[in-house]
Amino acid sequence: MNAVTETIEPSETAQHTLGHRLGYLLQTNWKRLIILVPFLWLLVFFLAPFFIVMKISVAEAVIASPPFTPMLDWAEEGVMQIRLVFDNFAYLWEDALYVNTYLNSILIAGVSTILCLLLGYPMAYAIVRSSNTTKHILLLLVILPFWTSFLLRVYAWMGLLADQGTINNLLIALGIIDQPIQMLYTTFAVYVGIIYTYVPFMILPLYANMEKLDWELLEAAADLGAKPMTTFFTITLPMTTPGIIAGALLVFIPATGEYVIPDLLGGGNVLMIGRILYNEFNANVDWPVASAVAIALLIVLVVPMMLYQHFQSKADSS
Amino acid sequence: MDPDAEPFIKVQSVSKFFGDFTAVDSVDLEIYKGELFSLLGGSGCGKTTLLRMLAGFENPSTGNIFIDGVNMNDVPPYERPVNMMFQSYALFPHMTVENNVAYGLKRDGMGASDITRKVEEVLDMVELTRFRKRKPHQLSGGQRQRVALARALVKQPKVLLLDEPLGALDKRLRETAQFELMNLQDRLGITFVVVTHDQEEAMTLSTRIAIMDNGRFMQIGTPTEIYEFPKSRLVANFIGNANMFEGRIIENGQDHVIVESKEVDCKFYIDHGLSIQEGSKVWIALRPEKITISKQAPASQSSNTLKGMVQGIGYLGGHSTYRVQVADKLIEITSPNNNRPKDGNPPIDWDEEVHLSWEASSSVVLSS
């Protein structure tokens, strides 16, 4: 045995094992390697910027380039000093403008979510229950708006809602009103824009959820004496709750931070956090406060989601 | 069965069309109180559509359905005095066993304490009390089947509809469940209407069977009637196996009929009269277990005997099946293995010449 091992060249063994090991690594870990790609992507393009924003939010604004103080500073005699300033967050809390804007954003996003749900739920239901060919046409119609630019569609709404816009002109021509109703640059216009834009994000997860629903359960409920309304509240609604939650999150989260719609359709009259953020960054060039606004928004949105996840997993395991 | 009894379920010339497709084709049916009635047929024969019309999930395109004397045509499912056990069981996945069973009682507006008592009773009956806090996905197939049964029975319906009630169970479980179902029906006296594609299941369970094909009833009768006196080749083939011989009536007497089959060059003597004209084309159905197989020639060889060559033997323990070649036909025979091989004559072997014979009452003459 010993003699045999000695005849093998050391370099040959190394090459053999290296190639072998690589192949083995690929074979056994390919799943991890595939996951690694999006993971690195998120690390570089999401997590790193997030930490930069977090860093800026604890700096102070200065007139310089970049317009904030560095986090790490050389104090006297080679001693490094970390400067963290939480004044920006305190400032957000103290100035009623920010608190009110957060509350207003959440209110608008919340009401929009509920309206999207009331509008999207019956639509998703109708799509799922229609015949296969109709189903595909209806789904296509839901997705169709995405084929034109979002910005263009919002501009189109400006044209529709303006004082001299299509709707007012039509109503005046029909003699229903004689003065144009102000719709553009009102909260109403913002609601119209948000609901119009986000209703597909409610319909699609609901559709995916309802598609899996066992319709025989509804027949079973009817068979056991449940009237259609009762069946809806005791069977359909609980069975589609995951779809409702997914849809609500997909609408609520981006709607809260929405900038384009309140800016174009709400004008200066509707305060939403997206516009504040834009103003702090560009008009005021106060990056630290702007970053603090962004971080605070994240906390406002993430904490309830995590609480939900926590209770959901608790409910599932019981 | 009381011959003067009023039928409990009455189906009057009911049809159901789905577009161009006729699922149920103008059928009439009467089911009596306390019956365990089976609708038997292959897939797409219309049996499930008929059951769904009884439950109220589909409305008849034409015709009327009466349950306990009331026309059900405009009565929605939630107001019908029937309950259904679904093939998939359709248990509510987000509710515990207890809540699944209580669901129907809550809809009736029953008081909480009554509901608890009734749920306990019925869970006790199906032996699921231990599992009442479980969700359906935490149960085995057999347990789920019993929850579905309990959920339908707790409402004390006038009629219980069962769609392939044992279809999802494995063979061993199915046999016990069959007898449990029969006992339950016997004890509660509820009229059961069962849809099944399994002829053995229908034979074991039912007081009467309706055999369906292409939306029509081929024959309605007790299991014995259907097995012993099938009305057509289709029914004879559907229930059990049958050897089929094409022939012509050559003699139609008062108390006997003789059919000659050119196929196997044999005369079939049947010991009762028939209302079929002499000379008309008929088929003879002969059940495999009614044929005696022997190496010795029978005493009389003028009729009801055949001679052939053994082409195959299947030993199944309790009985054996033989395939015997007669002219161009393979005839199937099943014979009980009453004697141990070493006791009696040497056993029949492959490629041996054998004699087949049967009683005059064994053959069934079919005109279609």
- Band (B32; pLDDT cuts 50, 70, 90): very high
**Residue B141 DSSP SS3:** helix
In this prediction the pTM is 0.80
Span of A20-29, A175-184, A241-250, B164-173 with lowest mean pLDDT: A20-29
What is the chain B residue with the closest CA to A218? B90
Tell me, yes or no, if B143 comes closer than 8 A to chain A by beta carbon. Answer: no
Number of Cβ within a 10 Å radius of residue B166? 24
Cα separation, B329 vs B326, whole angstroms? 5
**Residue B225 DSSP SS3:** helix
Tell me, letter by letter, the H, E, C secondary structure of B182-194.
HHHHHHHCCEEEE
Q: Which of B77, B91, B108 sits opposite A222 (nearest CB)?
A: B77
pLDDT at A238 over 80: yes
Spell out the domains of chain A, with CATH numbers in brackets: 2-56 (no CATH), 95-285 (1.10.3720.10)
Q: Are strands B319-326 and B329-336 parallel, antiparallel or unpaired?
A: antiparallel
CA distance B101 to chain A (A): 10
Taking the alpha carbons of B247, B248, B251, B252 in that order, is the dihedral positive or negative? positive
Task: Inspect the interface and report whether the beta carbons of A219 and B77 lie closer than 8 Å.
Answer: yes
The size of the A-B interface in CB pairs under 8 A is 59
Cα separation, B97 vs A313, whole angstroms? 22
| Residue corresponding to tokens 């102070």 | A60
What would the pLDDT profile of A37-88 be if each residue is shown by its tens digit?
Answer: 888 998 999 999 999 999 999 888 888 788 888 877 776 667 777 777 888 8
CA distance B60 to chain A (A): 17
- Top mean pLDDT of A302-311, B217-226, B231-240 is at B217-226
Q: What are B364's strand-pairing partners?
A: B285
The reported pLDDT for the residue numbered A78 is 72
Q: Which of B57, B78, B93 sits opposite A225 (nearest CB)?
A: B78
Instruction: Copy the structure tokens of residue B234.
Output: 């289709």
Q: If you average pLDDT over residues B65-70, what whole number do you get?
A: 94
**B54: chain A residues, CB-CB within 8 Å:** none
What would the pLDDT profile of B312-352 be if each residue is shown by its tens digit?
Answer: 898 888 888 999 999 888 999 998 887 655 555 667 888 88
Tell me, yes or no, if B17 comes closer than 8 A to chain A by beta carbon. Answer: no
Tell me, yes or no, if B137 comes closer than 8 A to chain A by beta carbon. Answer: no
CA distance B77 to chain A (A): 5
Cα separation, A50 vs A37, whole angstroms? 19
Task: Inspect the interface and report whether the beta carbons of B83 and A224 lie closer than 8 Å.
Answer: yes
Taking the alpha carbons of A95, A98, A101, A103 in that order, is the dihedral positive or negative? negative
- Supply the mean pLDDT for chain A: 88
**A226: chain B residues, CB-CB within 8 Å:** 78, 103, 107
Percent pLDDT > 90 in chain B is 54
CA B156 to chain centre: 25
Asked, colleague to colleague, whether B9-236 and B241-366 share their fold, the answer is no
**A232: chain B residues, CB-CB within 8 Å:** none
Q: If you average pLDDT over residues B22-32, what whole number do you get?
A: 94
Q: What are phi and psi of B134, to 5 degrees?
A: -80, 160
Task: Inspect the interface and report whether the beta carbons of A230 and B55 lie closer than 8 Å.
Answer: no
Choose the CATH number for B241-366 among 2.10.210.10, 3.20.20.100, 2.40.50.140, 2.40.50.100: 2.40.50.100
Cα separation, A189 vs A158, whole angstroms? 9
The amino acid present at B173, given as its one-letter code, is: L
CA distance A315 to chain B (A): 12
Give the C-alpha distances (Å, rounded to integers) separating A58 from A47, A70, A88: 17, 10, 7
Q: What are phi and psi of A310, to 5 degrees?
A: -60, -50
Most A-contacting residue of B94, B144, B155, B160 (CB-CB within 10 A), to test interface: B94
Tell me, yes or no, if B92 comes closer than 8 A to chain A by beta carbon. Answer: yes
User: Can you give the length of chain A in residues?
Assistant: 318
Is there a contact between A159 and A166 (Cβ–Cβ < 8 Å)? yes
Contacts of A96 by beta carbon, 8 Å cutoff, 6+ apart: none
> Strand locations in chain B, DSSP E?
9-18, 21-31, 36-40, 62-67, 70-71, 82-85, 159-163, 191-196, 208-213, 216-221, 243-252, 257-261, 266-270, 281-286, 292-294, 305-315, 319-326, 329-336, 353-357, 364-366
The reported pLDDT for the residue numbered A6 is 47
Instruction: Copy the structure tokens of residue B161.
Output: 């509809």
CA A28 to chain centre: 35
Q: Which of B77, B82, B92 sits opposite A217 (nearest CB)?
A: B92
What would the pLDDT profile of B194-233 be if each residue is shown by its tens digit?
Answer: 999 988 889 988 999 999 999 999 999 999 999 999 999 9
The reported pLDDT for the residue numbered A13 is 57
Is there a contact between B84 and A205 (Cβ–Cβ < 8 Å)? no
Cis peptide before B298 (omega within 30 of 0): no
Q: Which of A219, A226, A234 sits opposite B57 (nearest CB)?
A: A219
Task: Inspect the interface and report whether the beta carbons of B84 and A214 lie closer than 8 Å.
Answer: no
The amino acid present at A176, given as its one-letter code, is: I
What would the pLDDT profile of B272-298 be if each residue is shown by its tens digit?
Answer: 878 787 888 899 999 999 998 888 888
Q: Which residue has the higher pLDDT, A315 or B304?
A: B304
Most A-contacting residue of B53, B75, B92, B106 (CB-CB within 10 A), to test interface: B92
Percent pLDDT > 70 in chain A is 92
Task: Inspect the interface and report whether the beta carbons of B107 and A216 lie closer than 8 Å.
Answer: no
Q: Which of A219, A226, A239 sits opposite B107 (nearest CB)?
A: A226
What is the chain A residue with the closest CA to B159? A223
What is the chain A residue with the closest CA to B154? A224
Tell me, yes or no, if B90 comes closer than 8 A to chain A by beta carbon. Answer: yes
Q: What are B270's strand-pairing partners?
A: B257
- Top mean pLDDT of A5-9, A49-53, A218-222 is at A218-222
| Residue corresponding to tokens 């083939």 | B237
Task: Inspect the interface and report whether the beta carbons of A239 and B93 lie closer than 8 Å.
Answer: yes
CA distance A216 to chain B (A): 6
Residue B49 is given by DSSP the state: H
What would the pLDDT profile of A138-186 be if each residue is shown by its tens digit?
Answer: 999 999 999 999 999 999 999 999 999 999 999 999 999 999 999 999 9
Classify residue A100 as exposed, middle or buried by CB count within 10 Å of its CB (0-12, 13-18, 19+).
exposed
Contacts of A174 by beta carbon, 8 Å cutoff, 6+ apart: none
Q: Which of B77, B78, B86 sits opposite A216 (nearest CB)?
A: B86
Rg of the Cα trace of chain B? Answer: 25
Cα separation, B147 vs B145, whole angstroms? 5
pLDDT at A3 over 50: no
Cα separation, A60 vs A76, whole angstroms? 20
Cα separation, A139 vs A124, whole angstroms? 9
Residue B234 is given by DSSP the state: H
Give the C-alpha distances (Å, rounded to integers) separating B283 from A175, B223, B268, B352, B368: 85, 21, 11, 28, 8
**Could you give the residue ranges of the DSSP H alpha helices within chain B?**
47-55, 97-107, 112-125, 141-153, 171-188, 199-205, 223-228, 233-238
Classify residue B93 as exposed, middle or buried by CB count within 10 Å of its CB (0-12, 13-18, 19+).
middle
* CATH code reported for the domain at B9-236: 3.40.50.300
CA distance B87 to chain A (A): 10
CA distance B83 to chain A (A): 6
Cα separation, A286 vs A290, whole angstroms? 6
> Domain extents for chain B?
9-236, 241-366
Task: Inspect the interface and report whether the beta carbons of A216 and B88 lie closer than 8 Å.
Answer: yes
Tell me, letter by letter, the H, E, C secondary structure of chain A.
CHHHHHHCCHHHHHHHHHHHHHHHHHHHHHHHHHHHHHHHHHHHHHHHHHHHHHHHHCCCECCCCCCECCCEEECHHHCEEECCCCHHHHHHHHCHHHHHHHHHHHHHHHHHHHHHHHHHHHHHHHHHHCCHHHHHHHHHHHHHHHHCCHHHHHHHHHHHHCCCCHHHHHHHHCCCCCCCCCCCCCHHHHHHHHHHHHHHHHHHHHHHHHHCCCCHHHHHHHHCCCCHHHHHHHHHHHHHHHHHHHHHHHHHHHHHCCCHHHHHHHCCCCCCHHHHHHHHHHHCCCHHHHHHHHHHHHHHHHHHHHHHHHHHHHHHHC
pLDDT at A317 over 80: no
Cα separation, A43 vs B292, whole angstroms? 83
